[in-house]
Each structure stands twice: as C-alpha cells, then as structure tokens.
Amino acid sequence: MIYTLYDIILHISVIVLLPYFVVKMLSEGKYRTGTPERFAIYKEEKLRALEGGDVVWFHAVSVGETKAVLPLLKLFKERHPEKRVVFSTVTPTANRVAKNEEPLLIDALIYFPLDLSWVVKRAVERLKPSLFIVVEKEVWPNVIHTLHQRGVPIVVVNGTVSERSFGRYKKLGFFFSDIFSSITRFCARTEEDRERAISLGVPPERAIVTGNLKFDIEEVKLKDTDAKTIREELGIGEEDPVIVAGSTHAGEEEILLDVFKRLKERFPDLKLILAPRHPERFDEVEALLRASGVSFKRRTDSERLGEKADVVLLDTIGELTLLYSLSTVAFVGGSLVEDVGGHNLLEPAVFSKPVIYGAHLKSYLYMAELLEKEGGGMRVEDKEALFSALCSLLADRDQCHSMGIAARRVVDKNRGATKKTLDIIEELLQTHSPQRNT
C-alpha cells in the first residue's frame, strides 16, 4: 500500500513538473540527453551486448560516485571477465566520464530509469540483472523494492548516510525502514555510517565497514614526454608555478580570478588552470575570464595550441585528474560556496600535491580532517585566507613539497576498501542464483 501511495505522489509530481522540464529540454541539451533510456527504452545493440553472461548492474549518480567506483569495477572485471556489466548514471557528465575512462569494462552504458513503477519494471525485465550495486547514498524506493521482490541482491558500496539524510529518513521511518531492510549488504565508509544504516533498517549482520573507495584512487602517471607535450600545448613553461583549480562552481571563479591577479604581482610567471565542474558553464566562465582582463585560452582551442596565456580554461571531460599532476598547488572547488559540499580532495593528493579547499564541506569533511591532521591539506574560510595560503605555498617550495608528500601519505594509509568490498560482492555471487538462469 505504501509503495502505491509513493508511486501516485511521484506520478503527480512528474505531471506537475512536466511543463518545466519541457522548457528545460528545449533550452538546455543536458535535459534531452538520455531521455528514452530514462524511460527504460534501450537500443537493441546495448541489450545484445549483455547477452551470454550474468548481468551485474552498477549505478553511480554523478561524476564523484562514478570515479569512486571505477577501480572496483576494474578489479571486478579482471576477476570476472565472463560477467556482463551494465553501468548507469543520472548526469550526462558522469555518463561521459564512464564512457571515456573505462569503456572496455562496461558492456552497456545507460541512464538510470525514472523511479516510476512501470518504468522500473520495464528496466529490470530488459536488463535482467543478477546483482545490483549502487554507489554511496542513492535510495530509489521502486528500484529497490522491485529488485528485492525478484530476489536480486542489492549492495550499497562506499555507503554513507549524511546527518541531513538520516534525519529525513527517520521522519519517514515507516516507509524507509522497509527499503533499508531490503538491502542485502551495506558496505559503509565509516562506523558512523554503519550505525546510521542499521538505525534506518539494515539488519546489523548485513552492514559492514569497508572504508572509503575514494582512497583507492589510481595514480595515472604521465610520461615525461607526455607531460612536456601537454605543457607545451597549454603554453606553460617547465619552471612556471601552476595553480590547478578543479571542479569549481558559480561564485568561486570570481574569487579565484581576483586572488590570481593579486598573486601575479608577486609571482609573474604564475599560471592558472581553471576547470569548472559542469560543462554547461564553460561559456559562462569564459565570459568571466574575458571581463576580468586576464589573458586566457580554452583548452580545446586548437588554433592556440602552444600559445602562452595566464589562464587556461579546461573545457574538456576527463583531463582534470591528469592535470593535477602538473600543479604546484591544487584547489578543489565546490567548497567556497554553500550547498555544494565539496568534491574529492584526493585527486590532487594522490600526485603528492598540497590541497587547498574552502570551509563548506559535507561529504568530504572527514577527508579534509585526515589531510589536515597529516599536514597535507589546508582549509580556508574566505578569499583573503585563500590568497594568504596560496601566497605562502608559492613562496616556499620546500613547504609546498612536504605538504604534498603528507597529502599522498593520507591516501596510502587509507587504501584497501576496494578489495574488502569486492570480497563481499563475490560472496553474494556465489550464494545467489543468477536471475537469467531462473
């Protein structure tokens, strides 16, 4: 009865919001992307790619979750090449990241279906998963309910329950307790996440602390020749100090540009690589750069390869992680503005780079605390604190180097979640019969 009520409310919400989304679809391409798949309408070649083996369904909402689960997916495929992997995302950017970074590991890349009962049933019938793996904190009632009814094991990996989500779920405990009790395994980041999951309805024996998958980030080293080529393309000299500001959001670029112009007065050779989090903001950030008066170029401007500019606007998908390796100091965005919560602080840390970030952290607060305790990260409250931190590090390369080494030490000390998580998944593969064979 409760699922019927949820479904009715969801359908009413879709109908009410339909005019809004129609306007968005007409004006913004990202809202049109993947529309058929969101209604579980898949191209036949994708379905054919899933034939001949048991299907394991991985789901990650956005870029952060996608990058976090890719090492697990890679290890899974190495051990089980006979399995077929369908990988779903919600955002177009995450879809592109999955397609660019691990195309050979994914048999069918799709957009996640809307959580409407009839859409979910169609998706499950067409994909026929034998196991469903969801990253971090996604709770889709109809998806979980439908899979549970069909005997498909549901595994939450890198599981986390924020304080805000915990309070919301608790208020609707009569509904969410049934959903959480349907989870076969909850692989929690921390003991606190495990305790919250149990409080919400996951049986204690099904909740296990496995650690944070994001600490198992892969270090993809650039060869000296490749690094030289990229530097030449970007117009950055071997000795030029470089700030890489990654995953920035609206309101942060203005702060960074103001700080950068002030730093240029002290460090004339300083360069800035600016990487907005969302591709649809590339043109908006270009307008900010143009108005700021700094010399800049876009990464994709082939006519300006090799040309020197103070700022490079990184308007590509999938390059940011590698470019962190060229940085002198890294700033991770989504942290100087509210209501974002930060992004993965380990992406520059794995390259032994000092990590700077703002004070508005949610999911990444624990990560920041570990970096600060080890001496590898620095939290700044505002623009002046950001200027002071960057100025100090750029002026003292020994401090910069030691801080980077400390940041890498945090990564190394906390590795291991991928293997622990995979062991749990493999146990379920052995104890549950694949749906395709039933």
Among 420, 414, 424, 425, which residue's Cα sits nearest to residue 217? 414
Q: CA 36 to CA 44: how far, in whole Å?
A: 13
Kindly state the DSSP code that residue 220 receives in the 8-state scheme: -
Q: Which two tokens stand for residue 211?
A: 């650690």
The pair phi, psi for residue 187, each rounded to 5°, is: -90, 100
Q: CA 202 to CA 193: how far, in whole Å?
A: 11
Are 341 and 239 in contact by the 8 Å Cβ rule? The answer is no
Helices H / strands E in the chain, number of each: 19, 14
CB atoms within 10 A of CB 187: 28
- Residues known to be catalytic: 65
Q: CA 184 to CA 168: how far, in whole Å?
A: 22
DSSP-based three-state secondary structure for 345:
coil
Are 154 and 182 in contact by the 8 Å Cβ rule? The answer is yes
Q: Which two tokens stand for residue 332?
A: 């991770």
